[in-house]
Structures are given as C-alpha cells and as structure tokens.
C-alpha cells in the first residue's frame, strides 16, 4: 500500500484508538468514527482500570504479547506524560482441587522466562494479609503484572492520534442487509475500513460475527478503603484473580476504592437500552464475596459502581479478519474479557493486517469456533 492509503476506523474503544494511531504512524490518512466521545461509559473500554497480567494458562501467544505490551505501555505513558501503567503485581488464588490453569501458567512462565513466584497459603497470609485463604490451595504471584488505567488510556490515545494529524468524527455506522457499511444513508468508502465496535460488532454483523460473539453483562463494585489506612492501596496490595469464585479485583488507585467483580457469564445486556447501573443482587453478592475474601473491608461502604459488558467468543480468542464478502473491511475485536492489556500490541498488529503488511493469526479468523477446556483456555474460562 502507498503512503496515501485512506483508512477509516469505526469505534474508538481501546482496539479502535490503538489501531487508528498505528495506521497513522504507518503513514495512512486516518479518520476515527464513533457514536459517542472516546472514553464514554457504555464502551467495554470504560471504567478506571483493567488488570494487566501475562497469566494466560498454557497459551504462549498471548503471554508473549503481554510481555511486549508491558514495554509499549511504558513507552506510551512516557510519551504522553501521564501515568497509565501501575506495576503493583497480580496474585492468582488457585482454588483447592482445580489448579489446571494455574499449573499450565507456571509451565508457560518457566518456558518463557516470565518472573513469578508460587507461594503457599502461609506465605500469602504474611505477604498479602488482606486476603483470607479459605479454599485456596496456593498462590501464583506475578510481580510484573498490575493494571492499566483504561479510561485515561483511551482518552489520551485519542488525543495523541488527533495531535499527530488523525481526524475524529461522531457518527453511527450501520450495516445494510449485505453487511455493507453505511454512514448517514451513504456507503462508507475508503481503501481500508477497520471495524472495532466491540460488543456492537455482533449486532452490526448478525450473519458474520454474531454466531461467534455472545455479549454478557459484567457488574463492578468499588468499596472504600478503611479510614486512615493504606492497606488496600495499589503497591501495598496486588490485583487478584480468585479463580474458584470467578472473581477478580484491583486495589485502590487514585482514590477510586477497591474494585471487585464476580463474572456472571449468563447475564445478558441490551447494549443500547439498558441503564448502566448495577443491580441489587450483584451488589449483595459482591459484598458477600468481599466479606469472605477481604475481611478487612467489612463495614466499608460502596463508593462507586460500573455496569459494563464483555463480548465473548467461544474459545476466548480475539476476532481480526477481513469480511468474507467485503475485502477492504477488517473486523476487529472479540474482547473475551482480556483485550485491554494488549492494547498497543493489538493496535499495531491490527494496523499491519489492515495494510497487508502481514496476515492475521489463525486463531483470530472468522470460522466456526468451539469452547476450550480450562487447561487449554487462555482466559481460564
């Protein structure tokens, strides 16, 4: 492709802003279109932060991507002059009787040289006294894990993209019956169009994407840290994944409070109609979980909440492939609850595929997909 490639990116979540910036830096002329302002709270990339971890079971591909992304986030935050990446570590609490995913992760880490510690429950209680270790077999601690400030990262990347000459436009791109892209009643045309509409991808492409993308609601509660007590702040406490409970969380950073979520994968969401408010049942269940796992937070008040959604593919691999009938339209996304951390690497890879510099990976192709066992799954789901 020549330097004058006209590219359009639809969707300004993390996949879209990173792809747009990479296309621009590869010499294309780029317009980024979204229905709302970059950073808006309906997107899957909304919320203050996302866990950053190399922990991906036996999957070497994503593990390597995260190791590369760690350096890219550090470079980006240096360039932007904004703290986006906090290396406060991540602790996986391996549940008694089912440690396949954690065992597989340790083998991958040993093979690839990823720093980690396998720690006993006694060591967890000494090193991270915030956690009760009931029903925990042992812990896997990754010191170079942590979090990325997601909202800030999207907004800052969109601003960097504009500063470097990219155009941002507000609008709703639609698909007609033949899955051709339309904007304001006219065909959307460019040399290449990358569609990064996250959970909306399946709604737009009912025939092509919907069969491999299910959207599920995910509710988050933020709980206040105790008065005058930094025990639950980042760097004192790590991010955690409580596999046995399908729960995870992030210590308080920038005063947001301790974040906790329990993955209820069967809960659906109407992307355009539902209020983004957490329901009482989730609230109670999360509180019950915190009482059990982080007893030091008993009595603390909820201070914030986020209702969001995850687009899940059956095998939890992302989607990055050209539309089977429209050869200049690249479909990009497939979140599966773990795309954010890869942001800068994902964007560069996606831009390279869009410009024909390299092909996509087999795992990202739009084909029939089936679910994987916990031991094989990159996300452990």
Q: Which residues of the chain form contacts with ligand FAD (CB under 6 A)? A: 10-16, 33-36, 43-45, 50-51, 172-173, 196-200, 204, 218, 220, 261, 308-310, 333, 335, 337-341
Least spacing, CB of residue 375 vs ligand FAD, in Å: 21
Contact 312, 335 (CB under 8 A): yes
Q: In this complex, which beta carbon is closest to ligand FAD, that of residue 54 or of residue 300?
A: 54
| 8 Å CB contact between 220 and 259 | yes
Shortest Cβ 96–ligand FAD spacing (Å): 24
For 113-143, b/e burial (b = at least 16 CB within 10 A) is: ebebeebebeebbeebebbbbeebbbbbbbe
Query: How distant is the alpha carbon of residue 136 from its chain centre?
Result: 26
Least Å distance, CB 120 to ligand FAD, is: 26
Containing 199, the helix (H) or strand (E) segment is: none
The burial of 275, by beta-carbon neighbours within 10 Å (0-12 exposed, 13-18 middle, 19 or more buried), is given as: exposed
Q: Which two tokens stand for residue 146?
A: 């942590």
Task: Considering the complex, state which of residue 153 and residue 297 has its C-beta at the smaller distance from ligand FAD.
Answer: 153
| C-alpha closest to that of 355 among 167, 190, 111 | 190
Q: Least distance in Å: CB of 320 to ligand FAD?
A: 11
Which residue, 13 or 139, is less far from ligand FAD as judged by CB?
Answer: 13
Rounded CA-CA distance 319/365 in Å is 6
Q: In what order do the strands lie in the sheet with 247-250?
A: 117-119, 136-142, 90-95, 239-242, 247-250, 258-262, 214-223, 302-312
Separation in Å, CA 69 to CA 27, 154, 335, 341, 366: 22, 15, 16, 7, 24
The nearest distance, CB 32 to ligand FAD, in angstroms, is 9
Which one, 106 or 311, has the nearer CB to ligand FAD?
311
CB nearer to ligand FAD: pick between 124 and 173: 173
Is 39 or 139 the residue whose CB approaches ligand FAD more closely? 39
* Cβ at position 65, least distance to ligand FAD in Å: 11
Which ranges of 208-264 does DSSP label H, i.e. alpha helix?
A: none
Q: Where are the alpha helices (DSSP H) in the chain?
A: 14-25, 60-80, 100-112, 121-127, 150-163, 201-204, 280-293, 343-354
Cβ neighbors of 291 (< 8 A, separation 6 or more) are 297, 298
For ligand FAD, the closer CB: 26 or 50: 50
**Least Å from the CB of residue 161 to ligand FAD:** 14
DSSP 301: P
- Closest approach, Cβ 78 to ligand FAD, in A, equals 21
Choice between 121 and 342, CB closer to ligand FAD = 342
- Least distance to ligand FAD, CB of residue 201, Å: 8
Nearer to ligand FAD among residue 28 and residue 339 (C-beta): 339
């Amino acid at each position: 492709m020549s330097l004058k490639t006209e590219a359009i990116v639809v969707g300004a979540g993390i996949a879209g802003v990173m792809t747009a910036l990479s296309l621009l830096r590869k010499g294309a002329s780029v317009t980024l279109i979204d229905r709302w302002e970059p950073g808006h709270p309906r997107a899957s990339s909304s919320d203050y932060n996302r866990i950053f971890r190399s922990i991906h079971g036996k999957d070497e591909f994503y593990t390597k991507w995260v190791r590369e992304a760690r350096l890219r986030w550090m470079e980006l935050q240096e360039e932007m002059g904004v703290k986006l990446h906090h290396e406060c570590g991540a602790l996986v609490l391996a549940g008694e009787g089912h440690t396949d995913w954690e065992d597989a992760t340790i083998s991958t880490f040993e093979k690839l040289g990823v720093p980690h510690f396998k720690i006993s429950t006694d060591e967890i209680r000494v090193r991270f006294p915030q956690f009760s270790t009931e029903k925990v077999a042992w812990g896997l601690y990754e010191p170079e894990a942590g979090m990325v400030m997601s909202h800030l990262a999207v907004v800052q990347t969109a601003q960097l993209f504009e500063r470097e000459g990219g155009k941002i436009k507000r609008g709703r791109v639609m698909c007609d019956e033949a899955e051709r892209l339309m904007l304001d009643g006219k065909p959307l045309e460019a040399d290449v169009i990358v569609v990064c509409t996250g959970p909306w991808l399946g709604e737009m492409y009912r025939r092509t994407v919907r069969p491999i993308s299910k959207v599920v609601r995910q509710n988050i509660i933020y709980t206040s840290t105790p008065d005058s007590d930094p025990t639950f702040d980042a760097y004192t406490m790590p991010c955690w994944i409580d596999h046995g409970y399908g729960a995870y969380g992030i210590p308080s950073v920038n005063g947001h409070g301790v974040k906790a979520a329990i993955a209820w994968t069967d809960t659906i969401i109407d992307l355009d109609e539902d209020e983004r408010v957490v329901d009482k049942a989730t609230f109670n269940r999360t509180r019950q979980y915190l009482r059990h796992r982080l007893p030091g937070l008993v009595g603390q008040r909820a201070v914030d909440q986020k209702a969001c959604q995850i687009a899940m593919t059956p095998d939890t691999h992302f989607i990055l492939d050209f539309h089977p009938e429209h050869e200049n339209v690249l479909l990009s996304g497939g979140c599966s609850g773990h795309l954010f951390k890869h942001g800068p690497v994902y964007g560069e890879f996606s831009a390279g595929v869009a410009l024909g510099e390299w092909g996509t990976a087999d795992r990202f192709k739009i084909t029939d997909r089936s679910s994987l066992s916990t031991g094989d799954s990159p996300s452990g789901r």
